[in-house]
């Protein structure tokens, strides 16, 4: 039983760090209905930038975080302006492909700028876990959890309370209708990429600290697919819930299923779960159900 609790708490905490990456993903999908295959690479880019800045002597962590946040927002703007704006109104799948191209560009660019070798990203967070009875809590995961929840609340308020947030939802719902009522759609797109850049910055720092920084950091992008599908591609709360479910399921599968099947099931069980969920709810748990008309 103790082992069970361990697995679940660990899984939930890891799940929140997945959710952190998933957030950026969902934000872009929500406003522009594009699956951003480069989200993992944005996370990687942010991680690199953070590690490089911390590597400079005398750079305090808060300054790094500030510069990184601003920098990633700018990068989001630049990406939108440079390569996505020209594709507004084009088939979605072409835009998706462009994000794949972007991921190659970022991979190459990072290695050219900063080299391929691994760097560490030390944060003033202690390594030893907090021990609460039978449960070990890893501090960095707690930090990630806090950031994820802060983001969730902030974005939740932003989308329901601010004019801009409502405008973003309107664009997500129907671009043409939004344009008709005078919303500047390109501006909303730019904003969503900028926010995704911000989310990537948070993901990059947390995952960079956990894994060390090199171009493999982009792999976390892959782990995010089942999270966003489970939760619903366009739901921010869904990203968090999806992350939590996924983390717990992964963890339990590895703990209880692996010994019987003789192989790592951690990676494919979430997908099986995802397909089952999709059969019942084709738009994920919290996804927006589109009503189709001819």
Partner 1 sequence: MRLRSMHTALLVGLLLVGLAGLSSAFAAEIIIGGTCDRTGPTKLVGTIICPGVLDYVKLVNKKGGVHGNTIRYIEVEHAYKVDRGVEAYERLKREGAVALVDYGTPIVYALTPRHLEDKILGITPGFGRADATDGERFPYIFPAAATYWSQMGAAMQFLKDKGAKKGSKIAYIYYDNPAGREPLPIFERICSLEGYQCRTFAVPPPGVEMASQVLDIVRRFRADWVVSHLFGKSPSISIREFRKNGYRLDHVVSLVWGAGEHDMIAAGWDTAQGYLGMHFAGVGRDFPIVQEIMQMYRDEGQEVPEMVGTVYYNRGILNGALLVEAVRLAIEKYGMPVTGEKVKNGFEQIQNFSLGGFLPPLTFSAKDHEGGGWVRLYQTKGEQLVPYTDWFRGYRDIVWDEIRKAGKTAMK
Partner 2 sequence: MINREAGVFHTSYESDMALYALPLAKITAWGMVALLVLLPLPLSLLQNEHLMSIVNTIALAAIGAIGLNILVGYTGQISIGQGAFMMVGGYTAAILSTRYGMPFWVGILAGGAMSALVGVLFGIPSLRIKGLYLAIATLAAQLIMEWTINHVTWISGGAQSSIYVQNPTVFGWELDNEFRRYYLILVFFLLAYFAAQNLVRSRVGRAFIAIRDRDIAAEIIGVNIFKYKLLAFAVSSFYAGVAGALWTYYLRIANYENFTLVVSIEYLAMIIIGGLGSVLGAVLGAIFIKLFPIALDLTVIGISEGIFGVRYGAVADFLANFQLFVFGALIIVFLIAEPEGLARMWENVKRYFRLWPFSY
Q: How far is CA 224 from CA 113, 133, 149, 177, in A?
A: 27, 31, 17, 31
Q: How many CA atoms lie within 13 Å of 179's alpha carbon, on the beta-carbon side?
A: 7
Interface pick for partner 2 out of 7, 23, 28, 35 (rule CB under 8 A) = 35
Residue number with CB closer to partner 1 (154 or 216): 216
98 binding partner 2? (CB under 8 A): yes
As a whole number of Å, the CA-based R_g of the chain is 19
Give min distance, CB of 79 to partner 1, in A.
Answer: 21
Burial class (CB in 10 A: 0-12, 13-18, 19+), 291: exposed
Compose the 231-250 pattern: x for residues touching partner 2 by CB under 8 A, - for all others.
--x-----------------
Instruction: Return the one option of partner 2, partner 1, none that residue 146 interacts with (CB less than 5 to 8 A, by type).
Output: none
What is the rounded distance in angstroms from the CA atom of residue 147 to the CA atom of residue 143? 6
What is the rounded distance in angstroms from the CA atom of residue 25 to the CA atom of residue 222? 11
Residues at the site binding partner 1, with contacts judged by CB under 8 A: 2-3, 6-7, 10-11, 14, 107-108, 111, 116-120, 122, 127-129, 136, 138, 210-216, 219-220, 222-223, 250-252, 254-255, 258-259, 262-268
What is the rounded distance in angstroms from the CA atom of residue 294 to the CA atom of residue 292? 7
Interface pick for partner 2 out of 59, 67, 78, 105 (rule CB under 8 A) = 105
What are the residues whose beta carbons fall under 8 Å from the beta carbon of 124, sequence distance 6 or more? 61
How many distinct helices (H) and strands (E) make up the chain? Answer: 12, 2
Secondary structure of residue 190 in the 3-state scheme = helix
Instruction: Return the one option of partner 2, partner 1, none that residue 157 interacts with (CB less than 5 to 8 A, by type).
Output: none
Compose the 109-128 pattern: x for residues touching partner 2 by CB under 8 A, - for all others.
x-xx--xx------------
What is the rounded distance in angstroms from the CA atom of residue 140 to the CA atom of residue 137? 9
Give CA torsion, residues 21, 195, 205, 254, to 10 deg.
-10
Q: Position of tokens 């738009």?
A: 283
Give min distance, CB of 39 to partner 2, in A.
Answer: 14
86 binding partner 2? (CB under 8 A): yes
Q: How many residues bind partner 2 (CB under 8 A)?
A: 51
Secondary structure of residue 135 in the 3-state scheme = strand
Instruction: Return the one option of partner 1, partner 2, none that residue 138 interacts with (CB less than 5 to 8 A, by type).
Output: partner 1
Interface pick for partner 2 out of 100, 179, 211, 237 (rule CB under 8 A) = 100
Interface pick for partner 2 out of 56, 131, 132, 261 (rule CB under 8 A) = 261
Instruction: Return the one option of partner 2, partner 1, none that residue 266 interacts with (CB less than 5 to 8 A, by type).
Output: partner 1
Q: What does DSSP assign to residue 131?
A: E
Interface positions with partner 2 (CB under 8 A): 29, 35, 37, 83, 86-87, 90-91, 93-94, 96-98, 100-109, 111-112, 115-116, 222, 225-226, 229, 233, 261-263, 265, 267-268, 271-272, 274-275, 278-279, 282-284, 287, 292-294
């Amino acid at each position: 039983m103790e082992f069970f609790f361990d697995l679940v708490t660990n899984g939930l905490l890891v799940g929140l760090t997945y959710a952190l990456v998933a957030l950026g993903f969902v934000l872009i999908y929500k406003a522009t209905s594009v699956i951003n295959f480069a989200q993992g690479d944005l996370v990687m880019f942010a991680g690199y930038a953070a590690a490089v800045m911390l590597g400079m002597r005398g750079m305090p962590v808060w300054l790094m975080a500030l510069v990184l946040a601003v920098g990633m927002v700018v990068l989001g703007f630049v990406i939108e302006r440079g390569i996505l704006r020209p594709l507004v109104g084009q088939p979605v799948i072409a835009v998706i492909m462009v994000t794949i191209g972007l991921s190659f560009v970022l991979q190459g660019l990072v290695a050219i700028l900063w080299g391929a070798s691994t760097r560490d990203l030390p944060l003033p967070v202690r390594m030893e876990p907090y021990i609460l009875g039978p449960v070990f809590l890893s501090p960095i995961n707690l930090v990630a959890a806090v950031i994820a929840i802060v983001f969730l609340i902030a974005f939740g308020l932003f989308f329901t309370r601010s004019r801009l947030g409502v405008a973003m939802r309107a664009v997500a719902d129907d671009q043409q209708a939004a344009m008709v009522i005078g919303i500047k759609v390109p501006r909303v797109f730019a904003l969503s990429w900028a926010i995704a850049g911000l989310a990537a910055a948070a993901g990059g720092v947390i995952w960079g600290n956990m894994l060390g920084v090199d171009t493999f950091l982009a792999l976390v992008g892959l782990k995010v697919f089942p999270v966003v599908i489970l939760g619903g591609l366009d739901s921010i709360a869904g990203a968090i819930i999806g992350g939590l479910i996924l983390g717990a399921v992964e963890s339990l599968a590895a703990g209880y299923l692996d010994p019987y099947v003789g192989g790592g099931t951690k990676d494919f069980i979430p997908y099986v779960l995802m397909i089952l969920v999709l059969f019942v709810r084709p738009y994920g748990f919290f996804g927006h159900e589109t009503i189709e008309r001819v």
